[in-house]
């Protein structure tokens, strides 16, 4: 089946928020951003802003009738500054004008006098100063301290990974439409309509039922429109509340890059111990998360980092600790992978360091320590659903890893100035929100008398093909054609209290809720048909729109069945509710069973590096991915390719940098490079393992949104192998992204490590210590 | 202080008085209501706003409406003829060269301008033609396939 939006997209008929016809009197809003990263506002003069032609209202924190608070996890983030500013771009005032030119020109006329305070952009520095969002978290298993003595080789060092800008092509936007009795309808480009609704209601001091949030589709989200979409919806609603007129806010790309939160950068200290025969006995990692100026979703992101710091490996003695460090950059937020890749980067770096110290192939050390289904994760869940060994074997044999190794070595023997490298990146990713209560969903299904079907769920379509999946689930459950099913916009009046479309769980949750609506409705129809036909309902089925009795035609089709049920007063509507069973997690103890199952896969990444320039090509990526039974194979393949592109981009060309004053040095698409058509390798091969080995997903489908992004991490280690082939021995830092500049610096053996790391982190990063034999 | 312009957009002639500073994309979206053309960056770096002006693919976010005076413009809404999809639209659909859809109109219009100049492109030529259009969702593979498929299709028709 096709992507449901395919034809509308190609005709330019798909509507995003500001494509909806403009209501009369629509106003446009813009915000006055903080020009400094930390300070106290001594004076704020908005006279010239108010006087600017076309300006209708200028609002500050004092104009918020409810609670000036948008933090969804911790109440540490005001919608509008109350006198302090903590990052460049933090909203200070809201300007509402007749058109967006007036709004933007007026914003520039704000006069601010700010008493500047010290700025911290480095997470370790923030930690040393005690600037934490919350207490550090940890998980552990075995006895790490006792294990070092049993290791033949122990190495330690630091892995440094930068943040990432989402660059959803549709910038943040919302439109608020006042309705009668103070109610407000908000069209929002958000992955989290309920959090938007709840936060707007809090800002305005009204019950949630006064606020309706409606989402038709997003022009990309990737996590960047989970909590980060909320303030813009609040601004539109606040302005509509004050002016009584419809108000729209659409960020320019420049505003979006400046003001919105990105993926978390991490600095992670690791220590790993291995035996001479290649068993990893102990891993100790301390993560310093750059959380930005407010909590946002940082604590949940950090939790997932801890869960995934052993990636696909069984390590008997593990201690993983992480601190959410408050810094003066925009609040870091969700981004596809949600902390998982940062955890994996730490263990892959540690493991690579250990392999180099042992003098064995990285792949050998990886392979020997892969999880078996009888193993357990440090957080207590067993690995029963982990298929990583199967994925590795399919990759090893299917793509002939040994042949790749030989080809690369032969090439490198013959070419002094251009070297090749390769790496395998295994991925084991847990599926579910780690906050157990979020794993719930509802669906509302109506069948109309002509047999057409309307389906509403809490899931948001952002290009990932969710609506296509939901149409497949509903139509399969009812035995009808998917084209009969219209998947409706995501709306808080039809579906209450929905969780964000995130955690790769949207199809799992909303697909199962759809099944729980469709299945009783079908049973009701069959019971009715049994009565009318004098048949045993248990013998009746609906297949290909035909009502069958014991497999034989009854002469009734779907429209006739529906019409008959209607005339006999049988309900043609159903509500379904789903809560993922058997998951739980005790954060205080760091133990539990947080995931419904795990998705696994392995990628083989190959690169060619030009030793004179530091430039490189990603030659080829071949991967094996554990898909379960796909609801829609091409949609899933699209997710794999797109996720891989984002991972490869993050690890190579997406160079997000802040200077020591907290200024984003990459706040334009001219300075922040996203993958173009040349970055993705032309040679890309994806093999799926399609087994019905999970009962969790609808029709044995597995989650596919986030896991493929992490295959991209492999490119860092492939580049490192190429650097080694140039004869770069000794110390090389583990840094991402490996921009061509970074590769060249490492190649040239630059002695000043401060030049070897992204300036985003502000301080020197020590290179890994030499291997220590114990 | 408006300036009069006459443009033909998707086969229909329009006379409007526009502000000299008005961008072509705002004229198309706001004055004509043609919202299929999206704005991604306002700096001509993403290609989402690509339209054809006298057959040439241009970024409508960095061209003024007054510069288009006297021109014939094609937007995504005018690419298909008589309600039928253009082979490029069909190919992006068939090859699943889209996800969120925001880059799709610009990607298709850039390809349309390119195929007009180069009806039988090689794959490297397709990549070169699309290097200025950003897609954040797909990883580009299916987009390249779609353009190749459309080229084959269109070559077959002429």
| pLDDT bracket for residue A446 (50, 70, 90) | very high
Q: A272 and chain B: CB distance < 8 Å anywhere?
A: no
Residue among A21, A170, A642 minimizing CB distance to B138: A642
Query: In B, which residues are within 8 Å of A680 by CB distance?
Result: 139-141
Q: Shortest Cα distance from B6 to chain A (angstroms)?
A: 24
Residues A453 and A443: their CA atoms lie apart, in Å, by 13
Kindly determine whether residue B134 and residue A14, on different chains, have CB atoms separated by under 8 Å: no
Mean pLDDT of A752-764: 43
Angle at A218 between CA A301 and CA A713, to 5 degrees: 40
pLDDT above 60 for A768: no
Per CB-CB distance under 8 Å, the chain A contacts of B35 are: 12, 15, 18-19
Contact (CB, 8 A) for B31 and B47: no
Q: What is the pLDDT of residues A14-70, one digit of tens each?
A: 999 999 999 999 999 999 999 999 999 999 999 999 999 999 999 999 999 999 999
The pLDDT value given to residue A756: 46
Q: Which residue has the tokens 């948008």?
A: A70
Inter-chain CB pairs, A–B, below 8 Å: 161
A462 vs B: CB within 8 A: yes
Among A500, A592, A599, A648, CA closest to A306: A592
Q: What is the pLDDT of residue A761?
A: 39
- pLDDT recorded at residue A751: 52
Q: Is the dihedral of CA A168, A172, A175, A176 positive or negative?
A: positive
Collect all residues with Cβ–Cβ distance below 8 Å to A588 and sequence separation of at least 6: none
Q: Quick: pLDDT tens for A199-213.
A: 999 999 999 999 999
Among A231, A29, A33, A58, which Cα is nearest to A114's?
A: A33
Q: CATH number for the B3-78 domain, one of 3.30.70.600, 3.10.20.30, 3.20.20.70, 3.40.50.720?
A: 3.10.20.30
Please give the pLDDT value at position A729: 84
Instruction: Give the span between the Cα atoms of A311 and A54, in whole angstroms.
Output: 55
Tell me whether residues B137 and A14 touch, CB distance under 8 A: no
Assess whether pLDDT exceeds 60 at residue A755. Answer: no
* CB–CB contact A676 B48 (8 Å): no
C-alpha–C-alpha distance, residues B96 and A2, integer Å? 8
| B89: nearest CA partner in chain A | A10
Residues A696-710 have pLDDT tens digits of 999 999 999 999 999
Structure tokens at B2: 């408006």
Residue of B nearest to A19 (CA): B35
- Any idea what DSSP says for residue B28? I
For strands A573-579 and A584-586, give the pairing.
Answer: unpaired
Contact A252 B42 (CB under 8 A): yes
Average pLDDT estimate for B4-17: 98
Q: Is residue B96 a contact partner of residue A9, using CB atoms and an 8 Å limit?
A: no
In this complex, do A11 and B85 lie within 8 Å of one another by their Cβ atoms?
A: yes
Q: How far apart are the C-alpha atoms of A94 and A90, rounded to whole Å?
A: 11
Structure tokens at A424: 């395998």
Told to judge if A741 belongs to the known catalytic residues of this protein, a careful annotator would answer: no
3-state SS class at A606? strand
- In the predicted model, what is the mean pLDDT of residues A667-677? 96
- Tally of CB atoms within 10 A around B158: 5
Q: Quick one: residue A612, left, alpha or beta (phi over 0 = left, psi -120 to 50 = alpha)? A: alpha
Looking at residues A319-332, what average pLDDT do you find? 98
Say yes or no: A613 contacts chain B, CB-CB below 8 A.
no
Q: How many CB atoms lie within 10 A of CB A678?
A: 15
Beta-carbon separation of A12 and B36 below 8 A: yes
H-state helical runs in A108-208:
123-128, 144-147, 193-204
Please give the DSSP secondary-structure letter assigned to residue A540: E
The tally of CA atoms less than 13 A away on the side-chain side of residue B118 is: 14
Q: Which of A236-245, A344-353, A746-755 has the lowest mean pLDDT?
A: A746-755
pLDDT at position A1: 74
Q: How far apart are CA A703 and CA A510, in angstroms?
A: 12
Contacts A335 to B, Cβ<8 Å: none
Which among B109, B8, B127 has a CA at the least distance from the CA of B68?
Answer: B8
Give the residue from chain B lying closest to A683, CA to CA: B141
Nearest-CB residue to A668 (from B43, B100, B143) = B43
CA A61/CA A738 separation, integer angstroms: 42
Which sequence spans correspond to the domains of chain B?
3-78, 87-153
Q: Model confidence over A157-192: pLDDT tens digits? A: 999 999 999 999 999 999 999 999 999 999 999 999
- Using CA atoms, how far residue A599 sits from A474, A648, A694, in Å, is 24, 19, 10
Residues pairing with A579 in the sheet: A440
Chain B residues closer than 8 Å to A676 by CB:
131-132, 134, 140
Q: What is the pLDDT of residues A372-403, one digit of tens each?
A: 999 999 999 999 999 999 999 999 999 999 99
Give phi and psi for A571, each to the nearest 5: -60, 130
Give the SS3 label for residue A489. Answer: coil
Task: Say if the Cβ atoms of A167 and B37 lie within 8 Å.
Answer: no
A142's torsion region: left (phi>0), alpha (psi -120 to 50) or beta? left
pLDDT band at A117 (very low <50, low <70, confident <90, very high): very high
CB contact under 8 A, A642 and B133: no
Q: Are A217 and B35 within 8 A, CB to CB?
A: no
CA distance A271 to A156: 4
Nearest residue to A123 (alpha-carbon basis) of A160, A157, A156:
A160
Question: What are the chain B neighbours of A7 within 8 Å (beta carbons)?
Answer: 85, 89, 93
Helix locations, A274-377, DSSP H: 298-307, 340-358, 362-368
Q: Where are the alpha helices (DSSP H) in A157-310?
A: 193-204, 230-243, 253-259, 298-307
Whether A386 and A307 have beta carbons less than 8 Å apart is answered as no
- Pairwise CB contact (< 8 Å): B35 & A9: no
CB-based contact B41 A14, cutoff 8 Å? no
Q: Do A645 and B139 touch (CB under 8 A)?
A: yes
Task: Give the nearest chain A residue to B40 (CA atoms).
Answer: A169
The CATH class of the B87-153 domain is mainly alpha
Q: Is the pLDDT at A411 greater than 80, yes or no?
A: yes
ipTM: 0.97
pLDDT tens, A246-271?
999 999 999 999 999 999 999 999 99
Q: Where are the alpha helices (DSSP H) in A571-657?
A: 633-652
Distance CA A649, CA A645 (A): 6
**Contact list, B32 vs chain A (CB under 8 Å):** none
Q: Residue A752: what pLDDT?
A: 53
Distance, CA of A380 to CA of A364 (rounded, Å): 26
Q: Tell me which chain B residues have a C-beta less than 8 angstroms from the C-beta of A3.
A: 96, 98-99
Cβ distance A772 to A154 under 8 Å?
yes
Q: Using CB atoms and an 8 Å cut-off, which of residues 58-97 of chain B contact chain A?
A: 75-77, 80, 85, 88-90, 92-93, 96
Q: Do B134 and A169 touch (CB under 8 A)?
A: yes
Q: Which of A394, A543, A706, A770 is catalytic?
A: A706
Indicate yes or no: CB of A169 within 8 angstroms of CB of B45.
no
Q: Does A708 touch chain B (CB under 8 A)?
A: no
Q: How far apart are CA A160 and CA A401, in angstroms?
A: 28
Q: Are A176 and A186 in contact (CB under 8 A)?
A: yes
Q: Count CB atoms within 10 A of the CB of residue A369.
A: 19
Cβ(A446)–Cβ(A572) below 8 Å:
yes
| Whether residue A446 has a cis bond before it, omega within 30° of 0 | no
Q: Does B27 contact chain A (CB < 8 Å)?
A: no
Q: In angstroms, what separates the C-alpha of B103 from chain A's closest C-alpha?
A: 7
Q: CA–CA separation, A438 vs A497, rounded Å?
A: 10
CA distance A16 to A106: 26
Using the CB atoms, write b or e for B134-147: b if 16+ within 10 Å.
bbbbbbbbbbbbbb
- Separation in Å, CA of A746 to nearest CA in chain B: 28
Residues of B in contact with A645 (CB under 8 A): 138-140
Q: What average pLDDT is seen over chain A?
A: 95
Q: Select from A9, A167, A641 the Cβ nearest to the Cβ of B139.
A: A641
Flag whether pLDDT at A445 surpasses 60: yes
What are the tens digits of pLDDT across the range A579-625? Answer: 999 999 998 888 999 999 999 999 999 999 999 999 999 999 999 99
Please tell me which residue of chain B has the smallest CA distance to A22.
B30
- Phi–psi pair at A295, nearest 5 degrees: -65, -50
Mutation site, B101, B127, B144, interface A, largest A CB count within 10 A? B101
Indicate the range of A187-191, A456-460, B78-82, B147-151 predicted with least confidence.
Answer: B78-82
Contact state of A169 with B142 under an 8 Å Cβ cutoff: no
Mutate which: A1, A4, A11, vs B, most B CBs within 10 A: A11
What local confidence, expressed as pLDDT, does residue A773 receive?
Answer: 35
pLDDT confidence of B156, banded at 50, 70, 90? low
By C-alpha distance, the chain A residue nearest B109 is A10
- CA dist A562 and B143 (Å) reads 41
* Element spanning A189, H or E: none
What are the tens digits of pLDDT across the range A269-303? 999 999 999 999 999 999 999 999 999 999 999 99
Tens digits of residue pLDDT in A710-738:
999 999 999 999 999 999 888 899 999 99
Residue with tokens 């129809």: A525
Query: In this complex, is the C-beta atom of A54 within 8 Å of any C-beta atom belonging to chain B?
Result: no
Backbone angles phi, psi at B8, to 5 degrees: -105, 120
Nearest to A186 by CA among A198, A195, A177: A177
CB contact under 8 A, B98 and A10: yes
Q: How far apart are CA A662 and CA A639, in angstroms?
A: 34
Q: Is A44 exposed, middle or buried (0-12, 13-18, 19+ CB in 10 A)?
A: middle
What crossing angle do the helices spanning B87-94 and B104-117 adopt, rounded to 10°?
130
In this structure, are residues A203 and A68 in contact, taking their beta carbons and an 8 Å threshold? yes
Q: What distances in angstroms separate CA A714 from CA A623, A673, A709, B30, one per listed residue?
A: 11, 20, 10, 45
Q: Determine the residue of chain B that is closest to A650 in CA distance.
A: B136
The owner of tokens 């795990």 is A598
Res. B83 pLDDT band, cuts 50 70 90: confident
Residues of chain B with C-beta less than 8 angstroms from the C-beta of A221: 100
Q: Which two tokens stand for residue A171?
A: 């910038």
pLDDT (0 to 100) of residue A759: 38
């Amino acid at each position: 089946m096709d992507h449901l939006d395919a034809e509308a997209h190609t005709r330019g008929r798909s509507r995003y928020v500001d494509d909806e016809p403009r209501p009369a009197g629509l106003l446009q809003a813009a915000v006055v951003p903080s020009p400094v990263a930390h300070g106290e506002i001594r004076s704020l003069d908005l006279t010239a802003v108010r006087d600017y032609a076309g300006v209708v209202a200028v609002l500050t924190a004092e104009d918020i009738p409810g609670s000036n608070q948008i933090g969804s996890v911790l109440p540490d983030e005001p919608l509008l500054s109350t006198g302090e500013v903590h990052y460049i771009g933090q909203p200070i005032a809201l300007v509402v004008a007749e058109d967006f030119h007036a709004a933007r020109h007026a914003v520039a006329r704000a006069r601010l006098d700010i008493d500047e305070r010290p700025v911290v952009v480095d997470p370790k520095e923030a930690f040393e100063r005690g600037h934490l969002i919350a207490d550090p978290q940890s998980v552990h298993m075995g006895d790490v301290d006792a294990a070092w003595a049993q290791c033949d080789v122990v190495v330690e060092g630091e892995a440094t990974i930068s943040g990432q800008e989402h660059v959803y092509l549709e910038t943040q936007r919302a439109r608020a439409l006042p309705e009668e009795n103070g109610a407000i309808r908000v069209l929002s480009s958000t992955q989290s309509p309920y959090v938007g609704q709840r936060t707007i209601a809090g800002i305005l001091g009204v019950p949630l039922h006064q606020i309706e949030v409606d989402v038709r589709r997003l022009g990309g989200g990737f996590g960047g429109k989970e909590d980060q979409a909320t303030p813009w919806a609040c601004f539109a609603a606040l302005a509509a509340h004050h002016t009584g007129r419809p108000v729209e806010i659409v960020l320019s790309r420049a505003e979006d890059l400046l003001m919105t939160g990105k993926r978390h950068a991490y600095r992670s200290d690791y220590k790993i111990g291995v035996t001479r025969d290649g068993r990893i006995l102990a891993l100790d990692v301390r993560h310093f998360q750059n959380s930005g100026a407010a909590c946002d979703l940082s604590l949940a992101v950090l939790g997932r980092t801890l869960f995934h710091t052993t990636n696909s490996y069984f390590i008997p003695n593990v201690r993983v600790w992480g601190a959410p460090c408050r810094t003066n950059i925009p609040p870091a937020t969700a981004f596809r992978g949600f902390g998982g890749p940062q955890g994996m980067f730490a263990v892959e770096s540690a493991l690579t360091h250990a392999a180099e110290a042992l003098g064995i192939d990285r792949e050998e050390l990886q392979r020997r320590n892969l999880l078996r289904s009888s193993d357990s994760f440090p957080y207590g869940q067993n690995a029963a659903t982990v298929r990583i060994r199967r994925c590795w074997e399919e990759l090893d044999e299917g793509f002939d890893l040994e042949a790749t190794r030989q080809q690369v070595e032969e090439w490198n023997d013959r070419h002094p100035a251009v070297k090749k490298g390769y790496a395998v990146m295994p991925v084991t990713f847990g599926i579910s929100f780690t906050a157990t209560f979020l794993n719930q969903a509802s669906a509302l299904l109506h069948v109309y008398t002509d047999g057409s079907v309307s389906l509403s769920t809490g899931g948001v379509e952002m290009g990932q093909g969710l609506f296509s999946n939901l149409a497949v689930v509903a139509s399969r459950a009812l035995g009808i054609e998917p084209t009969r099913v219209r998947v409706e916009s995501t709306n808080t009046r039809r579906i209450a209290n929905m969780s964000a479309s995130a955690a790769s769980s949207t199809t799992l949750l909303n697909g199962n809720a759809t099944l729980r609506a469709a299945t009783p409705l079908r049973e009701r129809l069959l019971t009715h048909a049994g009565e009318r036909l004098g048949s045993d309902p248990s013998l009746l089925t609906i297949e290909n729109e035909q009502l069958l009795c014991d497999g034989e035609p009854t002469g009734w089709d779907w429209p006739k069945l529906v019409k008959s049920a209607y005339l006999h007063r049988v309900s043609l509507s159903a509500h379904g509710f789903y809560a993922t069973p058997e998951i739980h997690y005790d954060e205080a103890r760091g133990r539990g069973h947080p995931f419904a199952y795990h998705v696994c896969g392995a990628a083989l990444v190959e690169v060619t590096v030009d030793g004179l320039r530091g430039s490189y090509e990603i030659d080829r990526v071949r991967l094996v991915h554990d898909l379960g039974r796909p609801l829609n194979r091409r949609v899933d393949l699209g997710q794999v390719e797109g996720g891989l592109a984002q991972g490869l981009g993050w690890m190579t060309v997406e160079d997000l940098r802040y200077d020591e004053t907290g200024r984003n040095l990459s706040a334009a698409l001219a300075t922040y490079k996203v993958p173009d058509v040349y970055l993705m390798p032309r040679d890309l091969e994806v093999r799926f393992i399609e087994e019905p080995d999970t009962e969790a997903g609808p029709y044995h489908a597995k989650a596919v949104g986030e896991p493929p992004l992490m295959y991209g991490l492999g490119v860092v280690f492939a580049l490192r192998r190429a650097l080694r082939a140039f004869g770069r021995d000794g110390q090389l830092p583990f840094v991402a992204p490996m921009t061509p500049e970074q590769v060249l610096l490492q190649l040239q053996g630059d002695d000043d490590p401060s030049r070897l790391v992204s300036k985003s982190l502000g301080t020197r990063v020590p290179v890994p210590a030499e291997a220590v034999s114990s | 202080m408006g300036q009069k312009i006459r443009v033909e957009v998707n086969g229909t002639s329009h006379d409007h008085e526009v502000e000299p500073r008005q961008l072509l994309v705002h004229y198309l979206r706001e004055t004509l209501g043609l919202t299929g053309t999206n704005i991604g960056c306002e700096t001509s770096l993403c290609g989402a706003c690509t339209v054809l002006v006298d057959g040439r693919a241009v970024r409508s976010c960095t061209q003024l409406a007054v510069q288009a005076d006297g021109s014939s413009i094609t937007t995504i809404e005018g690419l298909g003829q008589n309600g039928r999809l253009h082979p490029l639209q069909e190919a992006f659909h068939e090859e699943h060269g889209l996800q969120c859809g925001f880059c799709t109109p610009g990607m298709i219009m850039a390809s349309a301008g390119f195929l007009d100049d180069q009806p039988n492109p090689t794959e490297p030529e397709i990549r070169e033609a699309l290097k200025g259009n950003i897609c954040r969702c797909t990883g580009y593979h299916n987009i390249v396939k779609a353009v190749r498929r459309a080229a084959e299709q269109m070559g077959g028709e002429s």
